[in-house]
Structure formats: structure tokens, C-alpha cells
Structure 1
């Protein structure tokens, strides 16, 4: 593999989402390691609720699915809403069902890093665990390092999380190279 394609999916609809900032930081690490990257956050994943009968009629959903198909590794990030991933992120991941008939269905064999941001440790950790469960269900390979970030009371949370994000991205890159 000459230049792996690493795709980050998640965030919120807010332009300055903390989750999107963490995903951008992860992609910066992937670029520094030689990857081509794509960030899919906010409006890029704001789809109608999953309907397998009509989803591929939507240009935005088709572009999303084609980007996921082209990925050599993923990073999925979600804010912790009520102790789990957001509906926006879950709905985007539900659309990966459209790859079920592909030669590589779902996220089969892909390394996937997970990042959860929340206003407290309980929601950050439970959201990270929920993301890992979804990745397993989609046949992806969650990296050993996942990143749970408590954004409350710490204006420097992104810098303090950089070391964990870097380790996670080293794992995504190493696993992608082995594919």
C-alpha cells in the first residue's frame, strides 16, 4: 500500500464541535504518517433516517458510502449524548449497511479507532464502549487504544488527549499497512 486512505466519521452539526476537533487531530497524525485523509462530519453525515430502499437515491449518502468503500482505515468519533453515541453518528453508521453485498462488506477487516467526547467521564467511557460494539458488529477491528475525552472543566482537553490520539492513529496506520 503506497498511501493509505484514512477516513474520519462523526462529530455534531455544530461548526466548532469538540468531537470534530478531535477527529481532525487524529487525521493530522495520519497525514504526518503519510496517509491521504477525509473528514466526514456535520453536514457531510446529516442524512435522512436510514431506509435501505431509498438511501442510494441520495447523492450525499452515495458519496459517503463510496468514501467508506475507499478507506484503508477509519476513525469514528461521537459526542456522548445520554451515555451513548449521538443519533447523527449512529444513523451515518447505519448507512454502512448499504455495503452488505460488497466484496468487503461493512467494515470487514478495517482498523477503526474510536474517540468519544463528553461532559464527564461516565458518558465519555460508555460512548467509547458503544462505538467499539458497533465497530465489532460491522466487522471492523477496533484498535486496542480508544480515546475517551472529558471536556468539562479543562480548556486544554484536546492537547492533553493528543498522546492517546497519536497512539491510536499509529495503531490504525500499522494495521492498515498489514492489510
Structure 2
């Protein structure tokens, strides 16, 4: 019996506030991916908030930028969680995704062939919808495959434990579905490439 492929799923999310709802949402997704047998790597709010502003053509990179680029370069799928600020993704999430321009000339340019799961938390449903559309549009621009399901929720009170365990079963189920679709797609793609 062959061992099942264990894809590497990179979770990107959070804000400059420690343990933000979007960071805990991506932690929740990575926990679900791990339960499905995936390997995971978290790129949290502290890391993305500390990245220098992306400057096209700049060749010097900080250690954090290099670690981020390296993780994404190796991944089989990504899950991005953003808060909805004024109807769109946060500045740190956008800046981190802009940095993926460094992958443009790789053998696998950008996120070509990777599943891309999107999760949004916002204080209104309009911001949830527009932010989710923004993430999915960015996924297309990066040549990724947005999962059919994207999770969006309006947090009411405490939604997660600090490790990412969902306290709201409905939100946990939504995030788990995103994680499952990313992991499944990574496995299907690997199986297809072996043919």
C-alpha cells in the first residue's frame, strides 16, 4: 500500500493585532488541513505586518521576505484569510501577495496550479462579499485555482480559541470545507501529474 501524498498548505493571514480574527481563522483552516493529513506552514499577522512595502524591481530581501517567498514557492496550496477593511483586503495581506511577484519567472510561475482557499471576516456582509471577490480575483491573477467554496463570516463575540479551534460550529464547518477543498485539489493535481 502506498502512503498518501501529504501536501504542504501555506496559510497566510492576520493583521498587525496579535491573535486577530483573520489570523485565528487561518489557524483554524490549517488545523483542518492537518487533520486531513496535510503538512502546514503559517505566515501570520506579525510576519506579514512587518514586511517592508513591496517595491517592484528591488532585489534585496529581508529574512522574513525570503522565508515567505520560500514557503510559497514550495507549497501545494494556499489558504488566505483577510479581514474586510472598507470593502477590501487588508494592506498587509495585499503587500504580502504583491511580494509573490518574485515568483514570476520560476518554473512554476506565481501559484500556477495551486489551490487557493479564501476566508474573510468582516463587520458587515457587504464587506465580506467584496473582500471575498477581491481575494478570488487575486488568486486568478496569480494563476491559482480558487476553491469553489470561500468562507465569509461576521464575527459576533469570541469566535476562536487562541490555537484556532472554532467556538462557532457553523464557522468551523465553513473553514473546514475550504481546507478540505484545498487539500483535495492538491492531491488530485499530484495524482494527475503522475499519469
Highest Rg: 1 or 2?
2
State the Cα distance separating 1:56 from its structure 2 match.
4.0
- Does residue 1:167 correspond to 2:177, yes or no? yes
Q: Which has the higher contact order (CA 8 A, sep 6+)?
A: 2
After TM superposition, list the pairs within 5 Å mapping 1:1-179 onto structure 2.
2-45=5-48, 46-151=50-155, 153-156=156-159, 158=166, 159=168, 160-179=170-189
State the Cα distance separating 1:16 from its structure 2 match.
1.7
State the Cα distance separating 1:54 from its structure 2 match.
2.6
Equivalents in 2 of 1:72, 1:93: separation in Å?
16
Aligned residues: 178
State the Cα distance separating 1:28 from its structure 2 match.
0.3
Segments of structure 1 that go 5 or more residues without pairing to the other structure are none
Runs of 4+ in 1 over 3 A off after TM superposition: 153-158
State the Cα distance separating 1:88 from its structure 2 match.
0.5
Deviation readout 1:20-70 (Å, 9 max, x if unpaired): 111010000000011111110122112111113335432111111000001
Equivalents in 2 of 1:132, 1:173: separation in Å?
17
Q: TM-score, normalised by structure 1?
A: 0.94
Segments of structure 2 that go 5 or more residues without pairing to the other structure are 161-165, 190-195
The alpha-carbon distance between structure 1 residues 108 and 56, as it changes in their structure 2 partners (threshold 3 A), is farther
CA RMSD of aligned residues (A): 1.4
Equivalents in 1 of 2:131, 2:63: separation in Å?
29
Assess if the C-alpha contact under 8 Å between 2:14 and 2:46 holds in 1.
Answer: no
Q: Is the deviation greater in 16-25 or in 42-51?
A: 42-51
